[in-house]
Amino acid sequence: MARIRAFTNAKICTRGKEISRDFYVDLDTGCIVSEPYEDPLSVIDMQNYIIAPAYQELQINGCLGVHFTTFEEPRSYLNHLETVSRHLVSKGVGAFYVTLPPVSQNLYRKILPHLKPQAFAGGADLLGAHCEGPWLNPLKKGAHDANLMQNPAESSVRSIYGDNEALSSLKMVTLAPELGNSQELIPHLTQRGIVVSLGHTAADYDTGMRALRAGATMLTHVYNAMNNFSHRSPGVAGLVSSREAPYFSLIADGVHLHQAALTMAFRANRERCILISDAIELAGLRDGVYPGHAPVPHPQRKSMNRVTIEGTDTLVGSCVNVEECVRNLKRWSGCSLAEAVRCASENIASLMNDRERGIIEEGRKADFVVLNDKGEVQQTWLKGEKLYETDMMSHSYALDHYQMQLMLLEQQNKKRLMLARKEHEDRGNEGQ
């Protein structure tokens, strides 16, 4: 008999709307199932909290002092991945893609084989790698090292990333469509099942449009590291409202984008908007000046969510997290929490053709986050098991959980008593 856990009194965010309903999880598979005929093994009262699909991190370079391009040997690298995965759960994240900026070919080949989709005990699932480069335009390098950028006319997918083992980890590539033979490279990547996004680019609108028609399906951190949007020359940012309707990512940290710019892009196509943190290794650390590393060989100054190359205004990623991005989008755009949540879960799963996560519905993994009305993470559940809980939620939940278990036992006892009476009556009728 299946071991079913019931979740009652839940307000579920799905497809940008909030719906009140119960849902059920098969604890043997970790997936959401239809309402069972038998009594569930346990019932959990969600106390009218908001339930959303667990968030996904599509673009994260590291956190807590860990940068994903720092590779010494396999064991320590996997330990760092596990550290990050457990931290992300506390921010409502159930799955993530490791982002690699432009690095040497040798480093790509060392790191990528270790980024295959995998699960970490007590942490978010790793779904693969997002390589932001090396086919980027040096004119729009941002904080990346221009010396590590490549022209696609002079390199190939295998010469950069390595053999099939490395390529099996690669799920997404950001490139500049105006370089070399980028337009030919795009279908070569998409035929391998790799999502292509346009970013760190000086391309005009028409060049970007050709790239979309060649198979690109996303724009990386819109407005940042691309030509400014203007009414006569919209550039790649103008593609947000095109008929091709690409997905597009935004960094909602209050540093990379003005609130009005973020709101304009979001309202242009809510079903294609994706929230990313673009967090770097300084996320979760104290403010101050920190040494650089291979991809950004300059001292970096952290001040809250803002990180710049010391002595300049050049931004180096962010120190925000996806939970903050969701709340910021809700506050700045005036959208509902369910609409904001969609940009950090369902839209990402749709872009990446992930049919296991992203929506709370039958057949999907029971990966979800419990939020209060402000959008603050209270609990994170993966595969129907609770991995994170705030202290305040823990105290109130313990009492209600105990009361719910008593109620369940009473219901089961009543059912057993009714069955026993029926059996007794049936035996009496047989004897007459």
Give backbone dihedrals phi and psi of 19, rounded to 5 degrees, phi first.
Answer: -125, 135
Is 95 annotated in a binding site? The answer is no
CB 7 within 8 A of CB 24: yes
Q: Are strands 50-53 and 368-371 parallel, antiparallel or unpaired?
A: antiparallel
278 is catalytic: yes
Contact between 69 and 104 under an 8 Å Cβ cutoff? The reply is no
- Tell whether 232 is in a known binding site: yes
315 is in an annotated binding site: yes
Contact 56, 63 (CB under 8 A): no
Q: Which two tokens stand for residue 169?
A: 């980890």
317 marked as part of a ligand binding site: yes
Neighbour count for residue 394 (Cβ, 10 Å): 12
Please report the sign of the dihedral spanned by the C-alpha atoms of residue 127, residue 132, residue 133, residue 135.
Answer: positive
Nearest-angstrom CA–CA distance, 138 and 172? 20
Q: Which residues contact 45 (CB under 8 A, 6 or more apart)?
A: 8, 9, 400, 401, 403, 404
Torsion of Cα atoms, 345 then 346 then 348 then 349, to 10°: 110
256 is in an annotated binding site: yes
Please check if 293 is assigned to a binding site: no
Q: Is 410 exposed, middle or buried (0-12, 13-18, 19+ CB in 10 A)?
A: exposed
Q: Out of 26, 253, 278, 354, which one is annotated catalytic?
A: 278
Read out DSSP for 349-402? HHHTT-SSSSS-STTSB--EEEE-TT--EEEEEETTEEEEE-HHHHHHHHHHHH
- How many angstroms separate the Cα of 382 from the Cα of each of 66, 100, 388? 24, 26, 9
Binding annotation for substrate: 143, 224-225, 232, 256, 315-317
Binding annotation: 132, 143, 200, 221, 224-225, 232, 256, 315-317
Binding annotation for Zn(2+): 132, 200, 221
Active-site residues: which are they?
A: 278
